[in-house]
């Protein structure tokens, strides 16, 4: 796919893409009863002073829990492509007086994150809804700091059923210049946990070949 200006061309995903659904993935009380956010933040080794992006933040379940975890010396950027969700989250952040949280409207194919800015980027139960995953991941790659990591929580089921096979997930990340560094099946997260880092090099868009969901995910 090329941009409107005839720029870089990225491959279409060789798989279905889930429709965007309600941001109410599960009630926050139910998620907290499983210890979801605490578990993910522990696995991701979130510490005071870190800068974290919450992509597809929705109602802000992770945003409002990351904010106290990174503390006054840290920062959280909450991003979403839905203007109404951003407005609701902005009001929530104001009510809770989370001064270390910023809100940003993203684009479907570009999270619009500043370069070299994040220790962790969270993508929780949303990756399967990205229409152009290769373009999105390619645009996100420069936002990681040295040693930065991308955290994905998703469900092992077909991509048109609001999940993604972890092997396919890893393949798509790898094709765009990331390396898998940790993986954990986690029923308490209603799925699995995967952690990626930026590889030494990011391929040019025309060098990216799509992974095939029906052939071992190797394309």
Query: What is the phi/psi pair of residue 6, to 5°?
Result: 75, 30
| pLDDT at residue number 1 | 52
Nearest to 69 by CA among 44, 89, 87, 88: 44
Q: Which residue has the tokens 């479907």?
A: 108
Predicted pLDDT of residue 96: 96
Residue ranges of the chain whose pLDDT lies below 50: 2-4, 215-216, 218-219
pLDDT at site 2: 47
pLDDT score, position 7: 65
> In terms of DSSP bridges, do strands 144-154 and 191-198 run parallel, antiparallel, or are they unpaired?
antiparallel
Alpha-carbon distance 111 to 101, whole Å? 16
Whole-number pLDDT of residue 33: 82
| DSSP label at residue 113 | P
pTM here?
Answer: 0.91
Find the helix or strand (DSSP H, E) in which 215 lies: none
Q: What is the pLDDT of residue 19?
A: 77
Strands (E), 12-143: 51-55, 75-80, 101-105, 118-124
């Amino acid at each position: 796919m090329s941009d409107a200006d005839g720029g870089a061309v990225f491959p279409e995903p060789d798989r279905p893409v889930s429709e965007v659904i309600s941001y109410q993935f599960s009630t926050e009380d139910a998620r907290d009863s499983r210890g979801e956010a605490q578990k993910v933040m522990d696995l991701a080794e979130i510490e005071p002073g870190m800068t974290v992006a919450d992509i597809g933040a929705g109602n802000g379940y992770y945003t409002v829990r990351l904010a106290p975890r990174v503390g006054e010396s840290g920062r959280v950027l909450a991003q979403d492509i839905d203007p109404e969700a951003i407005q609701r989250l902005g009001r929530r952040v104001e009510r809770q007086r989370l001064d270390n949280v910023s809100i940003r409207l993203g684009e479907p194919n570009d999270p619009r994150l500043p370069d070299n800015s994040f220790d962790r980027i969270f993508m929780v139960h949303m990756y399967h809804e990205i229409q152009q995953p290769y373009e999105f991941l390619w645009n996100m790659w420069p936002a990681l700091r040295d040693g930065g990591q991308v955290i994905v929580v998703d469900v092992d089921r077909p991509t048109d059923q609001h999940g993604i096979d972890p092997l396919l997930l890893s393949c798509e990340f790898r094709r765009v210049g990331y390396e898998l560094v940790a993986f954990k099946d986690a029923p308490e997260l209603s799925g699995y946990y995967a952690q990626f880092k930026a590889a030494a090099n990011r391929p040019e868009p025309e060098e990216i070949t799509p992974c095939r969901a029906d052939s071992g995910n190797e394309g």
